[in-house]
Structure 1
Amino acid sequence: MIRAATEEDAAEIRAMIRELADYERVGEQARTTEEQLREALFGEHPAAFALIAEDDGAGRVVGYALWFPRFSTWTGTRGMHLEDLYVRPSARGGGHGRALLAFLAAFCERRVLRPPAAAVTEAPGTPERHAPGPNGGPGEEDRTRTVMDAVLGGLRTGCGQEDTAIEVIAGQRA
């Protein structure tokens, strides 16, 4: 099940941020506090928004997506930057990441936003698969856009929860 994050989720989101940082082998760099998350996500003027993935059987939190709005001065279009998409290792393969992306894709379509932009983190130690930069192949933004477009392309109509996604995310004052 996907739902909007609440203030009560701040500790769980903080724990998953740390898990993600540990996975990326930079755990010491994840210094965000629960208080900072509460203010950024649920304060009077939220800087970002979050969704929570729960295990349908046990109701435990198994993942999250954290995003914020963006605007391109070059194209004059609004969009979404997906900062984090994380599913706990014990819950991977259960469709939670796909469900989070489906909610975000539906939200973008309804709000006429460009699909999420996000940096794609390879597993630690995995060699770069695409040459970065203008002369050696697609740059980071192009590579990210290609990956996200490919992922979201398969999700746009497949989740069956598009209306719910809009209600859930819109409830976060996005």
Structure 2
Amino acid sequence: FSVCGQISIIRFPDTVKQMSKYKVVLSSQDKDKSLVTVEMDAHGSFCFKAKPGTYKVQVMVPEAETRAGLTLKPQTFPLTVTDRPVMDVAFVQFLASVSGKVSCLDTCGDLLVTLQSLSRQGEKRSLQLSGKVNSMTFTFDNVLPGKYKSKNWNATSCGPHTLPVF
């Protein structure tokens, strides 16, 4: 039977310009422990032929791309082939949301909140916040995995804080 799926990447890390031709591995979990490897096509699709049994599918992402912040979920996709094709194997890029709250001793006023990657120097994002309140919340969406530092800037700036994003 056919076992087919899709790899979806929404945002490439700065050092990764396009989707590589990732190798996808189908591993039998039954007694024969067989392995079959295919390469995805230009659109991120892949297909295997498999006998009925229990399997796991895994995408092999090059180490350089993993270090650049590219992570797929799930890491492995378990499946069982019974008496029909399996056409819904899906791997999607993991992107996080980082949110926080800035509390001020007095009215906050205008603030600039910056999120900078510790391992990817070119990756820096900022949000401008303003309001005459004692605290403000912020959210950075579509954040690649890694360690970051956050800075909150105003006339009496708070220091940077290191934030792990997994």
TM range (shorter): under 0.3
Higher Cα radius of gyration: 2
What's the TM-score once normalised by structure 1's chain length? 0.19
What's the TM-score once normalised by structure 2's chain length? 0.19
Q: Which has the higher strand share?
A: 2
